[in-house]
């Protein structure tokens, strides 16, 4: 029996053995392969790569069997970073004397989840396959009764060499840069390409935990949590000027100076300063400073959280850049519009090469006080119902509730107050509500947190009273 919970908003993800196993993964490959074949017929080429997790090659074999049964040709990238996987969709390859292009790609990765997890990030015809498409795929698979034989026939393709040459060429002007920096690959897949590029450009760096190891022996591969950056932070106390860290599949980046841990929304603001009349897409968790300052010289658009959502919105409005606070950075300016932490590294190095004083730029920003993401635990069944209840309560809030200037409901509720904002949204991947608060006055950030948490508690009480 295939577990419905593995079919998530942005990808397919679950525990290997229990949820992702020979049966379920073959079916995912087969039904996904049918969708590719329906569109591209005999020219259905699916490029598959995988991360460093020990079970990723096994899942590759199962997935390839499903695609082969559906009539697709499987292209094998081996171990790659997610950005390299996406990059494959824009390249041509020689297969048995024929020049071909991938119509779809699958990245086998558990991203920053614990080592027992794995999953699939899917691109079809250069677009993310997500949301209702994934849920519908899950319904088809659950209703099916098909046996799929073992047949993992595939053709090797060397995407990494093409990617390395591309980045080295694009950033050849950085060659020999003197600034010293440290990278922390977290034993993920960043260094399937990264140090080769750095060496070809003769850059002045040292590396931590570069060897891919799916057991992640040194720290959890999630650079959005400061505890996983302690070695980079320690290194920056010496003669390193900058630090970079990556998640397990290298689609998210952390960037640090001696003074600042530069979040994705502030990175977007720095990049926007180098663009004429920029259009930047941010998620609902981004600081208001980013939106306000970008709107002074260009256009800032607030949209839903999630790498797939932002990729689609970026293309829809033809934006230059999109960003998530967590370090997903999507360059449409001079690139292909997908999140790639390796590419983002060199755009950041380019800012430094062009003499941008990162610390000075950040220190000059208006001062705000903001919380990290704060999670309120609930259930998969209740999380969206709670958001609906909260919206109703905000229509007529308690008398002591701070004055509401506006409510943005593109993703959960972002409540705009006189001197800041508070966000409550349902996570699309876990059974939690995600909250974040920001104000120009520290006490107000705490007040917004307190008052919105009180409303969440009221919403929970109302929901419990109607279900009991």
**CATH number of domain containing 186:** 3.40.120.10
CA distances from 90 to 95, 127, 163, 191, 196 (A): 16, 11, 11, 21, 21
Q: Which of 411, 376, 332, 335 is nearest to 131 (CA)?
A: 411
d(CA 113, CA 140): 26
Q: How confident is the model at residue 1, as a pLDDT?
A: 80
State whether 354 and 375 are in the same domain.
Answer: no
Q: Which of 78-82, 111-115, 352-356 has the lowest mean pLDDT?
A: 111-115
- Does residue 292 sit in the same domain as residue 390? no
390 and 358 in one domain? no
What three-state secondary structure class fits 399? coil
**Are 90 and 16 found together in one domain?**
yes
Q: What are phi and psi of 322, to 5 degrees?
A: -135, 155
Please name the residue that has the structure tokens 């650079």. 223
Per residue in 191-212, pLDDT tens? 999 999 999 999 999 999 999 9
User: Please, are residues 197 and 167 in contact by the beta-carbon 8 Å criterion?
Assistant: yes
To 5 degrees, how large is the angle CA 200–CA 188–CA 203?
Answer: 20
Is the model's pLDDT at 467 over the cut of 80?
A: no
Residues 29 and 132 in one domain: yes
pLDDT over 90 (residue 79): yes
In a 13 Å sphere around the CA of 44, the CA atoms on its Cβ side amount to 22
Query: How much of the chain, in percent, has pLDDT values that exceed 70?
Result: 100
Cβ atoms of 387 and 426 closer than 8 Å: yes
Q: 157, 188, 221 — which closes off a domain?
A: 157
Shortest CA distance to 269 belongs to which of 145, 364, 135?
364
Average of per-residue pLDDT across 269-282: 98
pLDDT at residue 86, rounded to an integer: 98
CA-angle at 138, arms to 39 and 142, nearest 5°:
115
Q: Do 428 and 337 share a domain, yes or no?
A: no
pLDDT of 29-49, one tens digit each? Answer: 999 999 999 999 999 999 999
Q: What is the domain extent for residue 67?
A: 4-157
State the pLDDT confidence band at 9, using cuts at 50, 70 and 90.
confident
- Res. 428: pLDDT tops 90: no
Same domain, 286 and 382: no
Cα torsion through 323, 293, 368, 240, rounded to 10: 60
pTM above 0.85, yes or no: yes
pLDDT at 468: 60
- Per the rule left: phi > 0, alpha: psi between -120 and 50, beta: everything else, 379 is beta
Q: Which of 363, 382, 416 is the last residue of a domain?
A: 363
Number of domains present in the structure of the chain:
3
Task: For residues 90 and 206, state if they share a domain.
Answer: no
139 and 280 fall within a common domain: no
53 and 108 co-located in one domain: yes
Of 270, 222, 218, 269, nearest to 245 by C-alpha is 222
- Which of the 8 DSSP states describes residue 402? P
* Strand partners of residue 108: 50, 120
**Which residues are the active-site residues?**
13, 111, 328
Is 80 exceeded by the pLDDT of residue 341?
Answer: yes
Does the pLDDT of residue 344 top 70, yes or no?
Answer: yes
Report pLDDT for 464.
86
> Which of 363, 383, 405 is the last residue before a domain boundary?
363
206: three-class secondary structure by DSSP: strand
Average pLDDT, the chain: 96
pLDDT for residue 81 is more than 80: yes
pLDDT at 115 (0 to 100): 86
For residue 289, what pLDDT is reported?
96
Q: What is the pLDDT of residues 347-368, one digit of tens each?
A: 999 999 999 999 999 999 999 9
Task: Collect contacts of 313-317 with beta carbons under 8 A, ≥24 apart.
Answer: 313/281, 314/281, 315/127, 317/279, 317/281
Assess whether 187 and 117 both reside in one domain. Answer: no
CATH number at residue 447: 3.30.310.50
Cα–Cα separations (whole angstroms), residue 159 to 75, 80, 89, 93, 359: 10, 9, 10, 9, 36
Is 263 within 8 Å of 325 (Cβ atoms)? yes
Same structural domain for residues 149 and 192?
no
Over residues 149-167, mean pLDDT: 98
Please say whether the beta carbons of 254 and 222 come within 8 A: no
Nearest-CA neighbor of 438 among 304, 223, 267, 265? 265
Q: Mean pLDDT throughout 58-75? A: 98
């Amino acid at each position: 029996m295939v577990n419905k919970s593995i079919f998530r908003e942005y990808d397919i993800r679950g525990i290997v053995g229990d949820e992702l196993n020979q049966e379920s993964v073959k079916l995912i490959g087969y039904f996904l392969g049918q969708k590719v074949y329906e569109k591209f017929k005999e020219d259905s080429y699916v490029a598959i790569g995988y991360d460093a997790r020990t079970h990723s090659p096994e899942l590759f074999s199962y997935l390839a069997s499903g695609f082969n049964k559906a009539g697709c040709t499987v292209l094998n990238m081996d171990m790659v970073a997610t950005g390299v996987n996406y990059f494959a969709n824009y390249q041509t390859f020689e297969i048995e004397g024929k020049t071909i292009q991938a119509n779809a790609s699958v990245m086998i990765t558990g991203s920053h989840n614990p080592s027992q997890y794995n999953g699939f990030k899917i691109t079809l015809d250069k677009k993310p396959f997500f949301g209702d498409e994934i849920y519908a795929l899950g319904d088809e698979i659950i209703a099916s009764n098909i046996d799929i034989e073992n047949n993992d026939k595939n053709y090797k393709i060397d995407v990494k060499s093409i990617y390395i040459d591309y980045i080295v060429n694009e950033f050849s002007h950085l060659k020999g840069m003197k600034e010293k920096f440290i990278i922390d690959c977290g034993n993920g897949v960043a260094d399937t390409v990264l140090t080769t590029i750095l060496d070809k450009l003769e850059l002045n760096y040292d590396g931590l935990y570069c060897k891919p190891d799916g057991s992640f022996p040194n720290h959890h591969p999630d650079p959005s949590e400061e505890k996983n950056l302690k070695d980079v932070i320690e290194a920056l106390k010496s003669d390193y000027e900058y630090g970079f860290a990556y998640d397990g599949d290298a689609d998210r980046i952390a960037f640090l100076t001696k003074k600042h841990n530069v979040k994705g929304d502030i990175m977007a603001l720095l990049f926007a300063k180098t663009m004429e009349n920029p259009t930047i897409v941010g998620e609902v968790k981004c600081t208001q400073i980013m939106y306000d300052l970008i709107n002074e010289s260009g256009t800032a658009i607030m949209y839903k959280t999630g790498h797939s959502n932002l990729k689609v919105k970026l293309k829809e409005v033809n934006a230059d850049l999109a960003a998530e606070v967590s370090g997903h950075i999507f360059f449409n300016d001079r690139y292909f519009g997908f999140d790639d932490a390796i590419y983002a590294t060199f755009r950041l190095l380019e800012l430094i090469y062009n003499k941008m004083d990162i610390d000075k730029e950040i220190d000059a920003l208006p001062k705000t006080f903001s919380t990290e993401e704060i999670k309120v635990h609930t259930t998969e069944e209740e999380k969206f119902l709670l958001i609906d209840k909260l919206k109703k309560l905000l229509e007529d809030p308690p008398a002591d509730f701070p004055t509401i200037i506006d409510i943005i409901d593109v993703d959960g509720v972002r409540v705009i107050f006189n001197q800041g904002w508070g966000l409550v949204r349902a996570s699309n991947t876990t059974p939690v509500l995600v909250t974040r608060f920001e104000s120009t006055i520290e006490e107000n950030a705490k007040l917004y947190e307190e008052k919105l948490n009180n409303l969440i508690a009221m919403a929970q009480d109302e929901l419990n009273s109607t279900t009991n």
